[in-house]
Structures are given as structure tokens and as C-alpha cells.
Amino acid sequence: MVQDWIDKKPTAHNWKAFFNSIIQMHDNEQQEASSAAITKTVATNNNDREEQWEEQLRLALREGGLFLCDVNNDESLVSFDFDPPPQFDMIYSSLCLEVCKTVEHFKQTIKRLERLLKPGGLLLVNGVTNKSYYHVGNKIIYSLSISAKQVSQAFEDAGITDNLKFISKPRKPNLKCDDCEGLYTIFAFKPSK
């Protein structure tokens, strides 16, 4: 699926809504940090920016490669054909770490991700707090129930602590597809040596 998007196949999933929501979040953050006037100027070019962001990510994935990741694989979290494994400038995970079986397993996974980061590298994780299941159609899917505090603690225990930031957002009311408390984004840098 991701490879099709990198290759710009006509059948590839359309990620525009996702990129636009990230740009919106970025703008909101900028607005808090700087004057509203600057943000207004930037926001007029949203279409161009969305395409630019997509292109930048395509380029990063073409240059850096695409690897399979399985949190349940005890041998190797990420499948590489080479030894020693590469180290990354940035690792991003979105709504995947809820497949961890326990909070301890989640913490171990963050530690394993830390080992794959270069010094100064960024770990960025999107997830949900205190969600134990979600529905896809009639199917009920297990999800690790983890609190905001436990997620932050996992980053701290793994030593990914520089500029650590945890942003939470309450879930939309009246949704019946899961029992989640809210969404979160957490990021921090591995200290440089």
C-alpha cells in the first residue's frame, strides 16, 4: 500500500486528508508560538504545501527505504537484509503500538525503537489512550489499554527525553466504534552523544 503511494500508482491510497490534518495541526502550533499574521500568509498556499509535504516524505522513503516492522518478532523488530541494522534520523508510528500485548511490551518496544535511532534522532508516535477494543464492521479488535502517563514513562525509561512533548485530544463524543478516552501525539529526541 505505501509502496504504491511512493510509486504514485493510480490505484494508491489517497492520503491528502491525512497530510492536510497534519499541516493544520502544525499551523495551530505555529499560531500559538508566533503571530497570527505569519500563519495567515502561510495558510493561503495550502494545496502547494500539501503536495510539497507528500513529495518530501516520498523522497525520504525512496532514499531511506521501506522496512517491515513486527512488534511481536522477538528476533528483530524491523526486518533488514543487512547487518548491522541501519540507524534512523526519525521513526514515526501511527496507531500501531496498540497491538502490544501489555504495557511492559509497549515499553520494551519503545526501547527497541530507541536503539534504531541515531543520536539526536526523533521518535514520533500517534496513539490512543485507554482503549481496549475497536470495531471494524462486526469484528471486534483488541487494543492495548494504556494511559497518557504510561506512554510518557515509556519514552523516559527508554532515554528518549530531549524536548519531550505529549499532546492529547479528547475523542469525538457519540462515537460507538471503540471505548477510547482520547488521541495523543508524543515526540522527543534521543539525546546526542
Ligand X SMILES: C[S@@+](CC[C@H](N)C(=O)[O-])C[C@H]1O[C@@H](n2cnc3c(N)ncnc32)[C@H](O)[C@@H]1O
Q: Which residues bind ligand X (CB under 6 A)?
A: 69-72, 94-96, 99
CB of residue 160 vs ligand X: minimum separation in angstroms? 19
- Residue nearer to ligand X on the CB measure, 42 or 124: 124
Query: How much is the CA Rg of the chain, to the nearest whole Å?
Result: 18
- Residue nearer to ligand X on the CB measure, 90 or 99: 99
CB of residue 143 vs ligand X: minimum separation in angstroms? 8
When CB distances to ligand X are compared, the closest residue is 94
CB of residue 177 vs ligand X: minimum separation in angstroms? 11
Where do we find the cell 493544520?
24
Identify the three-state secondary structure at position 95.
coil
- Residue nearer to ligand X on the CB measure, 99 or 148: 99
- Residue nearer to ligand X on the CB measure, 28 or 72: 72
Identify the sign of the CA torsion 59, 64, 66, 71: negative
CB of residue 18 vs ligand X: minimum separation in angstroms? 8
- Residue nearer to ligand X on the CB measure, 97 or 122: 97
Written as nine digits, the cell of 101 is 500485548
d(CA 98, CA 188): 19
CB within 8 Å of 103: residues ≥ 6 apart: 144, 146, 150, 154
CB of residue 189 vs ligand X: minimum separation in angstroms? 22
| Under 8 Å between Cβ of 143 and 129 | no
